[in-house]
Every structure is written in C-alpha cells, then in structure tokens.
Amino acid sequence: MFHKEGHKIIFTTLVIVVGSFFLIDGYITNEWIRKGLMLTILVVFLLILQFFRNPKRSTLSNDKQALSPVDGKVVVIEEVEENEVFKDKRIQVSVFMSPVNVHVTRYPISGNVTYSKYHPGKYLVAWHPKASLENERTTVVVENESFGKVLHRQIAGALAKRIVNYAIVDTKVNQGTDSGFIKFGSRVDLFLPLDADIKVELNQKVRGGESVIAEMK
C-alpha cells in the first residue's frame, strides 16, 4: 500500500522507467551496459516505491499515552524552552528518519487541533542544531484532558523539499491517524509536559502509531 502523496511521483517514475527501458533496448548494443543501466533504473524505482509505502499500524488508542509520530531512531530527549507556542519549558523527544524509513507522520495523541502552521525555510541536515528553527517545518498542537497540549513538529532535512500537513485547527483527530508526510525528509520533534513519564531511550528505534513515547503519571 502506497501513501497518496506518492501516487503522482510513482506514476511519473513508472512512465520514465518504461520509456528508458525501450530506449536502452533500442540504442544500447553492449549487453552488459544495457543490463547495467536497466538494473540501475529499476533499483531507483524500487527505492521510490519503498519510500512512499504506507503500512497499516495497529494503534491501541490510549489517552494517557503519547505514541511516536513517525518511524525512526530517538536522537534527542531533553528539557528545552519551546518558544513558538508554549513559551515555557517542555520535554523534547526527537525522532530521526533515514531515507529507508516510512515517512508518514501520525498524531501522537487524540484530541482537538489547537494550532497548525507551516514555516518555509532552509534544508540543513536534520541533526544540525539550527534545523528545528531554520528549516522548512510545520508545527501542530493537539490537546486532550490527559496531556493538555502536545506539540509535534515536522522538520525537513537536506533531501526534503516539501512537507505536507493535514492538521486543521478546531478539528478532532484520532491517535495514530495521518497528520502529514515529509517527502524525502527527516525529523519530527515532540514536545511534552514536564511531568510526562518518558518511555524511550536515546538511539531506540520506534514505530509511528505504535511505540509509546510517554505516559502521564
């Protein structure tokens, strides 16, 4: 199953692949070169297919738990000052996505969307200290009774050129459903209340919509 954000790219790439195969077969006479080019093109197409895959996840909805918004590796767990929305201290948990990870962003909690904003910006590598402030990004806040307000921020990386955000203010959303998609991009920051009990460790691999990031005590 492929994500809807990839349908046009997959179709366009498929047309290019088929056309390239016909051109290579018609104009390249050396068998090894012909097979090598075809194999290279096929590998690129398969990489695009795996990038836009959208596997179903078994989300066990729980208002007292915040789930990972994305697949990847936990690279930051620290207390920080969140200055865009909260203007106070929060626990930041950041998940880095490699190009082979699923790039669907899912809502970490159920609740009401209270904030949703897109920020154009640069394309620094995702682990750059200024990436969360200067890169292309979206900020979404969801509120429920257990957590209060939880913010998740999609951040583009060096390869990302477009972030898709589905969150609309004053709508109800369900934990684990699609919040957005980062095309060829690379990090999501989660900002939680200081009294949240963090359930992950640095360098731990997590799955979007399934892995528990934090619980309210």
What is each CA distance from 135 to 39, 74, 89, 127, 180, in whole angstroms?
35, 19, 22, 11, 17
Q: What is the mean pLDDT of residues 41-70?
A: 84
| Whole-number Å distance between alpha carbons of 215 and 63 | 9
Other Cβ atoms closer than 10 A to 153: 25
Where do runs of H (alpha helix) occur along the chain?
7-27, 31-51, 131-134
Q: Residue 11 — pLDDT band, cuts 50, 70, 90? A: confident
Catalytic residue among 68, 132, 186, 211: 186
Q: Which residues contact 128 (CB under 8 A, 6 or more apart)?
A: 135
Q: What is the pLDDT of residue 29?
A: 82
Q: What is the mean pLDDT of residues 112-120?
A: 95
Q: What is the DSSP letter of 2?
A: B
Q: What is the pLDDT of residue 193?
A: 97
Q: Which amino acid is at 191?
A: F
Q: What is the mean pLDDT of residues 170-178?
A: 95
**Cβ distance 139 to 119 under 8 Å?**
yes
- At residue 41, does pLDDT exceed 90? no
Q: What is the pLDDT of residue 207?
A: 94
Q: What is the pLDDT of residue 28?
A: 83
Task: Tell me the pLDDT of the chain averaged across its residues.
Answer: 87
- At residue 110, does pLDDT exceed 60? yes
Q: What is the mean pLDDT of residues 116-145?
A: 79
Strand partners, 91: 79, 192
More confident of the two residues 52 and 140 = 140
Q: What is the pLDDT of residue 160?
A: 54
Give the residue from 113, 115, 107, 92 showing the smallest Cα distance to 196. Answer: 92
- At residue 116, does pLDDT exceed 70? yes
CATH code for residues 65-216? 2.70.70.10
| Whole-number Å distance between alpha carbons of 110 and 115 | 14
Q: What is the pLDDT of residue 118?
A: 92
Residue 90 backbone dihedrals phi, psi, to 5 degrees: -140, 165
- At residue 132, does pLDDT exceed 80? no
- At residue 169, does pLDDT exceed 70? yes
Active site residue 132: no
Q: Residue 2 — pLDDT band, cuts 50, 70, 90? A: low
The 162-165 sheet, strands edge to edge: 104-106, 178-183, 162-165
- At residue 135, does pLDDT exceed 60? yes
More confident of the two residues 165 and 135 = 165
Q: What is the pLDDT of residue 192?
A: 98
**Cβ distance 55 to 104 under 8 Å?**
no
Would you state the structure tokens that stand for residue 11, as one six-digit string? 């179709």
Strand partners, 93: 77, 190
